[in-house]
Structure 1
């Protein structure tokens, strides 16, 4: 049975955050809230946890994994960012966006898009997500919690518990969330391409290069 923590969405209880982090540090898979619905997360070096997430989401090798980072400084450790990309990131993070960027050698190969050597990067302003990352002290390997053939992220923590109890190690209940996944912006090459429109306004990325 999964651990289930009800955490205040605006003022996360430090004790519960720390308990969730301890489970993640031991190789656990977590369901946690973000500014664009719920997500699945684990440490980026935990092969078994990543494989479990792939089974839950039914992901193939072409899927772009995402690193949920605390801030732009941490982001730049794991992705190569040119001046134009940095300006766009600075103006639009934190926010409900996933940015596709060329990865640095700090990213495990199993997380990369095999053909392009890219990784998804996120910075969220959700208080629970921020507290979790601060306590963890490193990025979370993350993917939106989209189940089956749905196009939307799961938003109801009680329904998530019904569907994923025993499949994950901890579920963080941060109350109901929106269902739109992130807007995905590809900055890996010489142009800005919005590849998915979701919770984030795509207009800042139109004609950006």
Structure 2
């Protein structure tokens, strides 16, 4: 049965997030609010948790899992970033964007795309998410919490708990968040390519 943590959206209690971080360290899945919608997260180095993450969402191994990072410097450890990409990322992070980049060897194969060797990666602009990343002490693999067979992500913590209490280790209630997934932007080509439109104003990035 999942634990239910109610945290302040602007000043989340470190004690509660430390507990959630320990559940992740123990191999659990945690639902957390972000600047786009609720996401389910797990430790990057946990193969069993990655498989559980895909089962919960009904995803195959060709679907990009997203790596949540604390800052731009951390992105550079897990993705190959040239000067052009770096300037774009510096302008766009943090924010509700997921970027497709070439993965480095630090990224386990189970997280990157099996044929393209790319990774979805982002820096969220949400204090609860960032505080959980700090508590975990490392980036986390994640996926938008869209129920299998449905189109819309979930954004209500109690509804998530009611539906997934037996599949998650914890649900973090940081209040409602937008009910849109991130906008996905592929940066591996000559110019940024919008793969999925979601949360965020593309004109702010000069793309719309």
Fold in common (TM above 0.5):
yes
Matched residue of 2:194: which SS?
strand
Q: How far apart are the structure 2 equivalents of 1:196 and 1:150? A: 16
1:147 and 2:147 aligned: yes
Correspondence for 1:24? 24
Q: How far apart are the structure 2 equivalents of 1:56 and 1:154? A: 13
Q: What is the TM-score with the length of structure 2 in the denominator? A: 0.96
1:101 and 2:107 aligned: no
Correspondence for 1:50? 50
Q: How far apart are the structure 2 equivalents of 1:202 and 1:148? A: 28
Gaps of 5+ in 2: none
Q: How far apart are the structure 1 equivalents of 2:192 and 2:47? A: 31
Correspondence for 1:117? 117
Alignment RMSD: 1.1
C-alpha offsets along residues 109-130 of structure 1, whole Å, 9 cap, x if unaligned?
Answer: 1111011100001101201111
Shift of 1:152: 2.3
Gaps of 5+ in 1: none
Shift of 1:176: 1.2
CA contact (8 A) 1:192 1:205 kept: no
Correspondence for 2:172? 172
Correspondence for 1:70? 70
Shift of 1:202: 2.2
C-alpha offsets along residues 137-158 of structure 1, whole Å, 9 cap, x if unaligned?
Answer: 1100011101133322211111
Give the 5 Å matches for 1:188-199. Answer: 188-199=188-199
CA contact (8 A) 1:194 1:202 kept: no
Q: How far apart are the structure 1 equivalents of 2:178 and 2:75? A: 25
1:187 and 2:187 aligned: yes
Matched residue of 2:32: which SS?
strand
Q: How far apart are the structure 1 equivalents of 2:134 and 2:157? A: 23
State the aligned residue count.
207
Correspondence for 1:202? 202
Q: What is the TM-score with the length of structure 1 in the denominator? A: 0.96
